[in-house]
Amino acid sequence: MPPKITETSVIDSRYQTFYRLGGIASIVIALSIAFAIAAYFIWPYKGNTTSIEAIFAILQADRLGGLISLDISMLMIAPINILMFLAIFAALKRENESVALIALVLALIAVVLVIVCRPLVELTVLSNHYAAATDPTEKLRYLAAGEVLRSSLDGTAWMMQTVFFMLAGLINCLLMLRTTFFSKATSWLGIVISAIGLGFFLPGVGLLFLFLNTIGSVPWCFLLARDLFKIAKESKTK
């Protein structure tokens, strides 16, 4: 009879710090997403609904509110995802290292693309120059430069980061189903919200699917944090 495989026999104890940091990162991400959802109703997204001149005016009148309305929360959350996805990879690499590595690479590329598609510092600097300019021609140059940056807020980089994040989540959660140390609730909820998020391409209802994915990410991150802390504890006893 083959030896019984226990939970600790498939957990790589070398990455105990990763598991803990990933759990902490998951909680921070969940709280940040919840804040972003609440903030949306106070400072609605302005990127594709407002002229660049109006965006400059908002940034001058209410810098913090303007940055929130341009999705600064997305920019702040993205790097924290690195810790979370590294922890997931460390936990899943013994299940299927090749597939887990694909998910990790997709997630890391997505983080870079988020930074690319949110040029908020550049927009803020241009708004300052626009406000200080007195020559109409100079103002037009700043508006033209701002329009180029505004187009990137919802351009190719934004679309690709959304796809890569959803695919990474889907792959990871499918692998989680094959383990004993990630709960079925974490795995299935992750599969559902990732699949829903990929529906953002659908005309008319795409943004609704993306919003549902965002809401579902909050409980999923808490479930993931619970599992990662459990894995860290199990690896400690190995």
pLDDT, position 145: 93
Q: What is the pLDDT of residues 154-179, one digit of tens each?
A: 889 999 999 999 999 999 999 999 99
Dump pLDDT digits (tens) for 201-224.
888 788 889 899 999 999 999 999
Confidence of residue 182 (pLDDT cuts 50, 70, 90): very high
Q: Which of 45, 113, 39 is CA-nearest to residue 81?
A: 113
Please write the tens of the pLDDT for every residue from 136-156: 899 999 999 999 999 888 889
Mapped onto helix, strand or coil, the DSSP state of residue 133 is coil
Rounded Cα distance, 162 and 121, in Å:
22
Cβ 15 vs Cβ 90: under 8 Å: yes
| Model pLDDT for residues 10-23, shown as the tens digit of each residue | 677 788 889 999 99
